[in-house]
Amino acid sequence: MDIAQILLFASLLLPLRASAGDYENSNAGGGDTIVFTTLGRSRYEFDIFALSTSHPPSISGELRITDGESVNFNGYFPSPSPALISLLPDESLIQPEDSSPLHLIYVTERNGTSSIYYDLIYRGDSDSKSKRRSMLETTSRVQVPLLSNANRRSGTTVNSFKDKPSLSGEFLVYVSTHENSGEPRTSWTAVYSTELRTGLTRRLTPRGVADFSPAVSPSGNWTAVASYGERGWTGEVAELSTDIYVFLTRDGTHRVKVVEHGGWPCWVDDSTLYFHRRSDDGWISVYRAILPENGRLTTKSVTIQRVTPPGLHAFTPATSPNNHDFIAVATRRPGIDYRHVELFDLKRNEFIELTRLVAPKSHHLNPFLSPDSSTVGYHSCRGEANGRRSPLLFLENMQTTKTDLSLFRIDGSFPSFSPSGDRIAYVKMPGVYVVKPDGSDQREVYSGMAFSTAWDPVRPGTVYTSSGPTFATERTEVDIISIDVDAADKSSSVRRLTTNGKNNAFPWPSPDGKWIVFRSGRSGHKNLYLMDAEKGEAGGLRRLTEGEWSDTMSSWSPDGEWIAFASDRERPGSGSFELFLIHPNGTGLRKLIQSGSGGRTNHPIFSPDSKSLVFTSDYAGISAEPISNPHHFQPYGDIFTVKLDGSGLRRLTHNSYEDGTPAWAPRFIDPRDVLLRRKNDSSCAFDDCHWLNKSPTLKGQKISC
């Protein structure tokens, strides 16, 4: 089982109840540091590429148009409006006699936070057929952050997810998560427009509703979105059961549902929309919706036609204004493991392959067309590039709105800090590693399959972990071990504390070093137990919780008063987990937080002052259509903190990834002290959405992916 699967279930075993008003009261007092894991994030780095739509495609014609920094995705080719041009440092940059630069608006994740950038790209000489993909560089670029830390005219907070930008004349239209939905397990994703010249920002999505994947009509008058309307997210992790709504881009009014069941809309003209949905035959296909020119706009007045045939999945359509000849789509064809961009000829009803002929063994995502249809853009792995800098840092600092909180994404899972904060233990599947907080002195201390780490507060260099397979049944053997990470002889560094052959995991020592709390499946159900930290279960065992449900992921408060854990006790076996607190003597049991109904909240870890917890939760729902994302087993999970009385809930991460397994450092780690230690390989390896590997009509035949 690889790490992707591990974390998947970590969140499956992942629920909150806090008032929205509490939200802004930060509980992360001066000098806090939190480290967490993002599932699979280290497996890819994206740039946006452009390719001519003329056929056949020429390999040398593929141009990387973003700068090789960080993760760049979901591009848009604007028709440059005067307001956009006015943002350039020098408007003479686009003289008419210039070799018409390419204008690109896109999302970029710089310093761990998403921004929307506008790049003006001057094309390099790419006539030589012998040039390799990686050598195709743009000659120069002008880069203007439209919405980012550097440009706060919009007045929106820095730490939020931004997505799917498009331009309507003077207005940038995009998705942002900067406003709390106020409801547990409800997406914060809403569509906004920002006037480029003034930064004036207006919310276009009604309160209490989440909108995804906005697209502006050619006239700019209308915006279409995928939305649940009032219904809300019910926990889907694959195709969303969204509907398509349109509203006036100007102010969000005249909002009407035009299509039941559909996502990722795009416009050819102001009355023709394309979108994707799963067809009755099981294939995800592109559809056309024709809105009535006159008369009342309702779902009944809209004509819907299937566009792409069964036999392959075709999704995330892209159009250009008034081009009724072809659209661009991403496809998954049976027998082909990669997602590719193709054109679909609307007259001949046939596909025209593009990227598979250029880079067959790479995923190509979310195509978009230039206004004149001559160029298709998409994002893809950066590839092995000459001197391109990899953004993959071992400890990546994330910009937050608070200067006294430092937040890091670690390239590993289950991090935990030594008592003095001078070392971090973490898990790679397989293996347990120790590293200094600055990213140096990384060593493997245990080579077996293990998960969760916790440092002994009194025995120097002692780390506890669970050795064995993750997400196994109650009866599977998983044992609590301690590792002396400083032992000269690795063969004698491990002590086994449980030996009963049942599933024992998530050990956490008491602050006096006498006890270890852990979960065990020995009764047939996963409940919490305490055992002697020195002698293990042989030294005596005390049962802390009992019931036919799962209590798991226990941690002990530094002041010794509380044990926090995740439990599905309110709905055993439902996959819904909530956070509970109990005193080590078994009294005082109470629920701390619940993420709506059916929600998942997991991995609670105490702050050094024992007054708060950091944890992972689906409290903020999902932030993008999962099909438009690189592969995440579950496209939700953000890092939150809350006070022990349930107040002060605060969201720390905003992205469309799965974030989990946080740790709260005993002392502040200044981002400036962390080495920018980049991973050595810039390999890009991730699987496409597992649910796209299925071929619905080939009954009984397995399509290998």
Chain residues in the site for ligand NAG (CB under 6 A): 69, 110-111, 219, 221, 270, 561, 583, 585, 587, 680
CB of 469 to ligand NAG, least distance (A): 29
Nearer to ligand NAG, 248 or 538 (CB): 248
Determine how β-strand 140-147 pairs with β-strand 32-38: unpaired
- Minimum Å gap between C-beta 495 and ligand NAG is 29
CA distances to 69, 123, 364 from 49, rounded to whole Å, are 14, 12, 9
CB of 47 to ligand NAG, least distance (A): 14
Residue 607 CB, shortest distance to ligand NAG, in Å, is 18
The DSSP bridge partners found for residue 168 are 171
Residue 361 burial class via C-beta count within 10 angstroms: exposed 0-12, middle 13-18, buried 19 and up: exposed
Shortest distance, position 166 Cβ to ligand NAG, whole Å: 16
Tell the smallest beta-carbon distance from residue 365 to ligand NAG (Å): 22
Q: State which residue, 408 or 577, has the beta carbon closest to ligand NAG.
A: 408
**List of long-range contacts for 85-94, beta carbons under 8 Å, 24+ apart:** 86/196, 86/197, 87/118, 87/144, 87/146, 87/196, 88/120, 88/142, 88/144, 89/142, 89/144, 93/120, 93/142, 94/120
Closest separation between CB of residue 257 and ligand NAG, Å?
20
CA distances from 50 to 47, 125, 304, 326, 571 (A): 10, 14, 31, 17, 49
Looking at beta carbons only, is 585 or 701 nearer to ligand NAG? 585
Q: Are 599 and 579 in contact (CB under 8 A)?
A: no
The residue type of 160 is S
Task: Say which DSSP state 142 is in.
Answer: E
Residue with smaller CB distance to ligand NAG, 597 or 683: 683
Cβ atoms 535, 519 nearer than 8 A: no
Nearest to 602 by CA among 650, 558, 646, 555: 555
CA distance 8 to 143: 37
CB closer to ligand NAG, 110 vs 276: 110
For residue 549, the one-letter residue type is W
Least separation in angstroms between CB 512 and ligand NAG: 13
**Least CB distance to ligand NAG at residue 108 (A):** 8
C-alpha to C-alpha distances, 491 to 423, 451, 461, 464, nearest whole angstrom: 22, 20, 16, 16
Nearer to ligand NAG among residue 49 and residue 267 (C-beta): 267
**Gyration radius (Cα) of the chain, Å:** 26
Q: Which is nearer to ligand NAG, 110 or 654 (CB)?
A: 110
Of 294 and 701, the one with the shorter C-beta distance to ligand NAG is 294
In whole angstroms, how close is the CB of 254 to ligand NAG at the nearest point?
A: 11
Measured distance CA(631)–CA(688) in Å, rounded: 5
* Nearest to ligand NAG of 47, 342 (CB atom): 47
**Beta carbon nearer to ligand NAG, 305 or 585:** 585
**Angstrom distance (rounded) from CA 367 to CA 671:** 36
Comparing CB distances to ligand NAG, the nearer of 294 and 585 is 585
Residue 506, amino acid: F
Q: Which is nearer to ligand NAG, 110 or 651 (CB)?
A: 110
Q: How many CA atoms lie within 13 A of 565 on its CB side?
A: 31
* Rounded least distance, CB 583 to ligand NAG, Å: 4
403 backbone dihedrals φ, ψ, rounded to 5°: -80, -20
Cβ proximity to ligand NAG, 246 vs 328, nearer residue: 246
State the minimum distance, in angstroms, from the CB of residue 592 to ligand NAG: 16
Task: Identify the CA nearest to 577 among candidates 557, 556, 555, 603.
Answer: 603
Q: How far is the CB of 215 from ligand NAG (least distance, A)?
A: 15
Work out whether strand 551-556 and strand 536-543 pair parallel, antiparallel, or are unpaired.
unpaired
Strand order in 432-435's β-sheet?
413-417, 424-427, 432-435, 443-446
Name which of 281 and 404 has its Cβ closer to ligand NAG.
404
Identify the residue whose tokens are 């003209």: 269
H or E element, residue 10: helix 3-12
Q: Which of 427, 499, 509, 429 is nearest to 462 (CA)?
A: 509
**From the CB of 518, what's the least distance to ligand NAG, in Å?**
19
